[in-house]
Each structure stands twice: as structure tokens, then as C-alpha cells.
């Protein structure tokens, strides 16, 4: 278990959803699809826990459905150029 860490942030809502600050997402290592449990301890106090991280297969399928733009290859590559070992 690491050293305790805290951040002060204002709440941001959009369409009844609460958004976490980027620093919190990064510190928790959250990715899209992760499931969270929010324990409301008392009025004004809550604990947030990562229950289940999005499965790698699910994330991979999402990336395949909408791959990032890596640019274009000018011209074309032949099959030989693709599979040929270059020193």
C-alpha cells in the first residue's frame, strides 16, 4: 500500500454524472470501463475503490473498432517489402 494522497477539486457534473479530475484518474490508474465502488461513509465523506479493471480483451476490441489515426503511408508497400527482413 502506497503513501496516502489527496487532491482538492471542485465537483463537475454533466448529465447526472460526476467527473473525476485527471490527477485522480492517473493516480488510480483508471481506464475507460473500470468499475468503481463509492462507499458513502457519512454526509460529506466517501471512499472510492476500484472494483474491477476493464478487461484487456474488452479494451483491445474497443481500440480495434476505433483505431487511432497513425497517418498515411505515401505510395504503397509490396508484400515483399512488408515481410522482408531489413538489417
Distance CA 20, CA 38 (A): 13
For residues 28-43, give the mean pLDDT. Answer: 85
pLDDT value, residue 54? 64
| Three cell numbers, residue 72 | 498515411
Residue 36 pLDDT class (50, 70, 90 cuts): confident
Which position has the higher pLDDT, 63 or 1? 63
pLDDT value, residue 87? 57
Amino acid at each position: 500500500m502506497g503513501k496516502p494522497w489527496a487532491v482538492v477539486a471542485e465537483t463537475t457534473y454533466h448529465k447526472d454524472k460526476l467527473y473525476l479530475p485527471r490527477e485522480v484518474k492517473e493516480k488510480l490508474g483508471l481506464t475507460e470501463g473500470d468499475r468503481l465502488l463509492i462507499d458513502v461513509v457519512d454526509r460529506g465523506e466517501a471512499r472510492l475503490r476500484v472494483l474491477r479493471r476493464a478487461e484487456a480483451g474488452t479494451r483491445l476490441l474497443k481500440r480495434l473498432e476505433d483505431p487511432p489515426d497513425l497517418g498515411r503511408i505515401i505510395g504503397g508497400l509490396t508484400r515483399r517489402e512488408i515481410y522482408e527482413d531489413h538489417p
